[in-house]
Amino acid sequence: MATPAQLGLQNATSPIMEELIAFHDHALMIIFLISSLVLYIMSLMLTTKLTHTSTMNAQEIEMIWTILPAIILIMIALPSLRILYMTDEFIKPYLTLKAIGHQWYWSYEYSDYEDLAFDSYIMPTYFLEPGEFRLLEVDNRTTLPMEADIRMLVSSHDVLHSWTVPSLGVKTDAIPGRLNQIMLASMRPGLFYGQCSEICGSNHSFMPIVLEFIYFQDFEVWASYLYIVSL
């Protein structure tokens, strides 16, 4: 999760987020080099009195400042398109989870398990335990297995929402009457926090998302326990 005075992105826990961070650093370095070059040229123009009469009609330099930006754009576009196709790649999932946005809470349904569904509300401040985060904790955490390809189906019951978990590199709009699909996976166990990222009403700030990734065997025990309890 984010920390105070953090300047960069959150630590990646999925392969997609690792690719996004690498692309962010790649594009940021290109922007830094371009900005440095422009600043250097501007400082030269303001400090030197030397002129060159051939500059007004120089075909070579015109070719350079036409071709060079095109090359830079290609250097940015190719990695971007690669990551875009990676995010749209769907393989056979181990588990399917459906998230439905409401004003102002989330509902989750495990499609591979019978009658395994629950609502997830924000935890009131006076119920928080020591070490829990205000405005980020929920009463029912979404438990998922780590190192598994999980298909997320995201929709909404009323207005536009957005299901977002930054450390996983996922952000999908929840639209009434539409079912959006994404793939996610976590390479390590732990708690990962997110929030609704679409202004959806007066309590938009109070729709946190908490994912708890655990080991395979622990997940099966958890799912069996909930099934027995629901009987």
Nearest to 102 by CA among 89, 126, 85, 120: 120
The third-level CATH classification (topology) of the domain covering 95-230 is Immunoglobulin-like (2.60.40)
- What's residue 56's pLDDT? 61
Beta bridge partners of 97: 110, 152
- Domain spans in the chain, listed from the N-terminal domain onward: 15-47+58-88, 95-230
Whole-model pTM? 0.83
3-state SS assignment for residue 49: coil
Contact 195, 208 (CB under 8 A): yes
**Segment holding 80, helix H or strand E:** helix 59-87
pLDDT along the chain (231 residues), means of 10: 80 90 93 93 82 66 86 93 87 90 92 86 90 89 91 92 92 92 91 90 89 90 77 66
